Amino acid sequence: MKYVTDWRTARLVDIENPAEDVRMLTFAVEGALPAFDPGSHTRIRVTIGGEPATRSYTVLPSPAGTLRIAVKLHENSRGGSRFLWSLSPGDQTQMTVPENRFALSWRAPSYLLIAGGIGVTPIYGMAQALAARGAEFRVLYAARSRSMLAFADEIRAIDGDRVEFYCQDEGRNIDFAAEFAKLGDTEELYICGPVGMLNAAKHAWEKAGRKPSRFRYEVFGDSGLFAEQPFRVEIPSKGAVIEVRSDQSMLDALMSAGIDMIYDCQRGECGLCAVTILETETPVDHRDVFFSEEEKQENRRMCACVSRIAGGRAVIDTGYRP
């Protein structure tokens, strides 16, 4: 079960490679598209193992009548990125009209934007929008190597004096404590990247005594503390035992097995797909941004769309009674 969404036919019209493991896809979309702000997402229909599925991607600055996304080919892809990398110009699918759950507030005197890897996709649009309005901002962009800095030239072209790149293979990492110490009381942080980066930034932000409301973040759901492994889910209330593949989300596995689920965002943001954890043999890899750190430590619930367990077996209750 999910909310009604405005789906449009989309035809792939252009492919570019802004980094060695990133492909930018531009789709011509049927019908008039409303304007969308940086940080907006679109859902796209994909086919995984012969079955239909949906994935969510940040929408990049796009020409009129098009939606442009950047897709990182993940080593442990659940199938969405592999499908999108297989597309050729002229291929058709469906995409939704963009919606925004990671929007700029436009209330701060200046902004610090931090990106990690493919987390640059919303940060790129934000930097462009802030520059267009003459706002004060800085961008810190981290990746494993320079060849993985997607859109580096485009961001540098916006204002190179406000951008700093950090490449791990060059021994450079962002010093969150030092960067946050430079901020005034009313400045805001927008950060998107892997869960490890997000957790380190949140810890430094809290340690600095800064306001939680000024820390705005997004994490991509395929980024966890543990590598993807297959695991087994038991649901006593339904007498079901379900195997979850390493390239499959728990939500997809449950629905493929005929388990009724409520869900919406599939990014670990809305919490609608959360299940109750009754027992688990291995640690829970919480990859959502819905639950607080305290709730994650309790390990009582997890978002089935993005979170996993580190192999073995979990006993859960979906809580959904149709």
DSSP, collapsed to helix, strand or coil, labels residue 125 as helix
CB atoms closer than 10 angstroms to residue 107:
8
The pLDDT score that the predictor gives to residue 229 is 86
What fold, for 231-317?
Answer: Ubiquitin-like (UB roll) (3.10.20)
Q: How far is CA 313 from CA 43, 53, 167, 234, 244, in A?
A: 31, 25, 37, 8, 10
Q: What are phi and psi of 294, to 5 degrees?
A: -65, -45
pLDDT of residue 139: 98
Please answer whether residues 103 and 37 qualify as being in contact, where contact means their C-beta atoms are separated by less than 8 angstroms. yes
CATH topology of domain 110-219: Rossmann fold (3.40.50)
Per-residue pLDDT at 74: 76
Distance from C-alpha of 166 to C-alpha of 80, rounded to nearest angstrom:
28
The SS3 call for residue 308 is strand
Does domain 7-100 fall under CATH 3.10.20.600? My reply is: no
Give the closest residue to 313 by CA, choosing from 244, 224, 257, 246.
244
CATH 3.40.50.80 in the chain, residue ranges? 110-219
307 membership: H or E segment, kind and range: none
What are 44's two structure tokens?
């796209």
Model's pTM, two decimal places?
0.82
Domain with CATH 2.40.30.10 in the chain: 7-100
Alpha carbon distance 124, 163 (integer Å):
11
The C-alpha atoms of residue 322 and residue 301 are separated, in whole angstroms, by 20
- Which residues does the chain have with pLDDT short of 50? 1-3
Burial environment of residue 288 by CB neighbours within 10 A (0 to 12, 13 to 18, 19 or more) = buried
pLDDT of residue 49: 77
Q: What is the pLDDT of residues 118-130, one digit of tens each?
A: 999 999 999 999 9
Chain-centre distance for alpha carbon 303 = 14
**Closest Cα to residue 77, out of 238, 236, 247, 219?**
247
Pairing of strands 240-244, 231-235: antiparallel
